[in-house]
Structure 1
Amino acid sequence: MSPDRAPVGTLFRRFRERLAAEGPERLGGPGHPTGHGAKVTATPGADAPVGTGGVGPAANGTGARATGDAGVARTDRGAQEVGLAPHPPRDAEPASRPRRRGKGGGEQLNVPPAEFTSYYGRPILKAPVWRWDIAAYLFTGGLAAGSSLLAAGGQLTGRPALRRAGRVTSLAAVSASAYFLINDLGKPSRFHHMLRVAKLTSPMSVGTWILSAFGPAAGLAAIAEAAPWLPRRGLAGVGRTLLPPVGQAAGLVAAVTAPALATYTGVLLADTAVPSWHEAYPELPTIFAGSALASGAGVGLLAAPTGQAGPARRMAVAGAALELWGAHRVENRLGLLSEPYALGTAGRLLRAGRALTAAGVAGALVGRRHRSLSALSGAALLAASVCTRFGIFHGGVASAKDPRYTVVPQRERADRRAAEQG
């Protein structure tokens, strides 16, 4: 701005003073030809005609407003002389609008409550690519571990039916586990390649070695059960003599490695970035250990006579206690991350698992002298183990697909750290 030029505010004030002194004819008031008249809008019902250069007398007092071109209506004074309402000042409050009423009588919000969304609604984590065969692997691994413990209990307490059922089931279950794992890997050679190294910080590597140690021991223990069917003479007779002690040693080796086989899958799931698995790292090994014991007890209750099923009933009680305690913690301790375990497929499976576990334990305790009731209890415990493993699996997958379960806990942890530092 040049120093000899007055400010804009001063020029505007001088213009208003000249306008007040000379009148509205300065800008083409009534009677002054301008080529086009002032455009005025009257209130509805006014009988004043609108013309070029003026307004009718009925416009006085009607509250009409100036809305258009150059003329008297462009100034407050001109509008007052012709009976129009002047323009409101710039700092005037806007007229209040009537509030909209909702169905409940309250004020209807113009903007709906915000919902959590991620970038273009995409998941933040890549959901596990594991299919149903990994969930089945979780079950068969636990069943193999629990059955080997049952077989060891039958071996140490002199219950041959219980020992036999445990050993045979353990071999069948660990064989199914190997199949499900190799089927998920895609090629059998990949399982072999995992044995090239032993990495203690990798649950997958440790689990591969546990499975490799458990499998041959369980196999030898199960083969030893066929010794009484071998001939007494010749090479088969030698096998008939050597297999029982070898089977006893192998059965104990399998029982020693069984706890690691039963729980490492829980560590494997918790070691991932899947929110509801990772946050449940203290409970998942406990749940899987209890589920393994309960499933092994179910095998004993199904296959062994009631007189030899005492260890199976005690295993059922211990396994059910661990499983129900861990499941209760997972569904109540994790806050928002407990939600995937209570909704959808996971919620239905876990609720069914709790009900079947409770029914199986009750039947095992009541049916000590009823063979059919004992067998039904064993079947309920096996079904409960299946439901629990698949429920935990589906709950974790659901939490990975919804970005809310990733971002909200992160924000809560950041807020807690900021509050502690502040």
Structure 2
Amino acid sequence: MTSSEFDQFRPPRPPRKKGRRGAGGRRGDELMVPDAQVEHLGADGYYGHPVVKAPPWETPVGAYLVLGGVAGGSGLLAAGAQLTGRKALRRNARLAGLTAAGAGALALVADLGRPERFLHMMRTFKVTSPMSVGSWILMGFSGAVGVAAASEVDRMLGGRLPLGGLRPLLRAVEPAAGLGAGALGAPLAAYTAVLLGDTAMPTWNAMHRDLPFVFVSSASLAAGGLALITTPAAEAGPARNLAVLGVLGDVVATRVMEHRMDPVAAEPLREGRPGALMRWSERLAIVGGAGALVSGGRGGRFARVAAALSGAALVGASACTRFGVFHAGIDSAADPRYTIEPQKRRLAERRARGVTDDSITGL
């Protein structure tokens, strides 16, 4: 006979009935815990314990969310600069995209613990798995932006990279690689939102319809803000426009998302560290967007400094958004109330619509 620290929480066992067959079909078998029904659960869940288990994700995963957005937005911005002949903006956005993608991959590997675990994710492609699809998107984007950025670095060094006979090939595939990175930029910025919304974490799951719009807007303002820091004002017009559109999208999409979420599941977004991050995100986004507009029509040193400060505020706003969402989801797993109360509300709504015979209302 074995004992467990959870024995104290088990209900008393009823006496066995001789000859009874349990659920397993064997004589004497019996259910150790009675069937759970959602409407009979209190706000403290099962004996006060969390209903869902939070993923073992730490700060590197939050950093990956931020860097993936910067990389994806920069790839899209670089493709636009390529098509409109803005060489400085194209170069800076490509280098930013490669740096962010590389740093994001390192953050992901750091969370996995061993580098080979990342390679294991590349063994198959499963379209129903956001993690699998996202891994391939990251690899495809990194390869494409890497080719385009390598060509930019070679030009910056006056053709002194030891490429030999590969230089003509690199120049030939550079345009296609740049456009390929642009095509994969939006999926790279958005797939992490699908990944979070596909989990059982109450807050993440409750925002699954609107979080991709928030993350794409966040990536746009981050990439535009970073380009404002690195690019002269003469070529930074598209970056400024992308940043301002990203600010509008981020503020509106975040407000709509919180309004459409279950009010209980949305609480972690407004409380504690996640709440502070989300409030700072909106403030920095508005300040950065306003600064980008003010600096747009002016030249000289003032415009350059204003653009750089605005860009830094926008990058900070994107980081606050993604870390705020990340911590809110983790926190929502700790309190059973965030799982139980929305479930009860959904159950009541389905029964009010007359649905009484499906796998949910029939419990």
Q: TM-score when scaled to structure 2?
A: 0.81
Write the letter of the residue equivalent to 1:404.
Answer: R
The match for 1:347 is 275
> Is the Cα contact below 8 Å between 2:43 and 2:340 reproduced in 1?
no
1:383 and 2:311 equivalent?
A: no
1:411 Cα offset (Å): 0.9
How do 1:85-124 and structure 2 match up within 5 A? Answer: 116-124=43-51
The match for 2:266 is 338
- Aligned equivalents of 1:236, 1:143: Cα separation in 2: 29
> Is the Cα contact below 8 Å between 1:165 and 1:299 reproduced in 2?
no
What runs of 5+ residues in structure 1 fail to find an aligned partner? Answer: 1-114
The match for 2:3 is none
> Is the Cα contact below 8 Å between 1:224 and 1:246 reproduced in 2?
no
- Aligned equivalents of 2:165, 2:304: Cα separation in 1: 38
The match for 1:257 is 184
The match for 1:131 is 58
- Aligned equivalents of 1:152, 1:400: Cα separation in 2: 40
The match for 1:364 is 292
> Is the Cα contact below 8 Å between 1:346 and 1:394 reproduced in 2?
yes
- Aligned equivalents of 1:385, 1:212: Cα separation in 2: 23
Structure with greater Cα Rg:
1
Percent of aligned pairs sharing the same letter: 48
Match of 2:233 among 301, 306, 311: 306
- Aligned equivalents of 1:415, 1:245: Cα separation in 2: 61
What runs of 5+ residues in structure 2 fail to find an aligned partner? Answer: 1-41, 357-363
Aligned length: 308
Q: Secondary structure at the match of 2:53?
A: coil
The match for 1:413 is 346
Match of 1:248 among 141, 152, 175: 175
After alignment, is 328-337 or 344-353 more displaced? 328-337
- Aligned equivalents of 1:290, 1:230: Cα separation in 2: 34
Q: Secondary structure at the match of 2:207?
A: coil
1:240 Cα offset (Å): 4.9
The match for 1:395 is 328
1:418 Cα offset (Å): 2.3
1:288 and 2:221 equivalent?
A: no
1:178 and 2:111 equivalent?
A: no
> Is the Cα contact below 8 Å between 1:123 and 1:402 reproduced in 2?
yes
1:205 and 2:132 equivalent?
A: yes
Q: In the TM superposition, what whole-angstrom CA distance separates every residue of 1:95-143 from its partner, at most 9, and x where no partner exists? A: xxxxxxxxxxxxxxxxxxxx94233321111112100110100000010
The match for 1:228 is 155
> Is the Cα contact below 8 Å between 2:284 and 2:313 reproduced in 1?
yes
Q: In the TM superposition, what whole-angstrom CA distance separates every residue of 1:7-36 from its partner, at most 9, and x where no partner exists? A: xxxxxxxxxxxxxxxxxxxxxxxxxxxxxx
> Is the Cα contact below 8 Å between 1:161 and 1:303 reproduced in 2?
no
- Aligned equivalents of 1:400, 1:232: Cα separation in 2: 54
How has the CA–CA distance of structure 1 residues 229 and 360 changed in structure 2, closer, same or farther, with 3 Å as cutoff?
closer
1:181 Cα offset (Å): 1.1
How do 1:6-21 and structure 2 match up within 5 A? Answer: none
- Aligned equivalents of 2:207, 2:162: Cα separation in 1: 54
1:420 Cα offset (Å): 2.4
How has the CA–CA distance of structure 1 residues 234 and 205 changed in structure 2, closer, same or farther, with 3 Å as cutoff?
closer
Write the letter of the residue equivalent to 1:330.
Answer: M
Q: Which has the higher contact order (CA 8 A, sep 6+)?
A: 2
Match of 2:81 among 154, 167, 171: 154
The match for 1:104 is none
> Is the Cα contact below 8 Å between 1:231 and 1:237 reproduced in 2?
no
Q: Secondary structure at the match of 1:120?
A: coil
Q: In the TM superposition, what whole-angstrom CA distance separates every residue of 1:205-243 from its partner, at most 9, and x where no partner exists? A: 000111111111111111111222556699756555443
> Is the Cα contact below 8 Å between 2:43 and 2:341 reproduced in 1?
no
Write the letter of the residue equivalent to 2:353.
Answer: E
The match for 2:26 is none
The match for 1:373 is 306
- Aligned equivalents of 1:233, 1:186: Cα separation in 2: 37
Deviation beyond 4 Å, 4+ runs, structure 1: 229-242
The match for 1:13 is none
1:183 Cα offset (Å): 1.4
The match for 1:325 is 252
1:327 Cα offset (Å): 1.1
Write the letter of the residue equivalent to 2:285.
Answer: T
Write the letter of the residue equivalent to 1:367.
Answer: S
1:339 Cα offset (Å): 0.9
> Is the Cα contact below 8 Å between 2:79 and 2:182 reproduced in 1?
yes
- Aligned equivalents of 1:397, 1:329: Cα separation in 2: 21
1:282 Cα offset (Å): 1.2
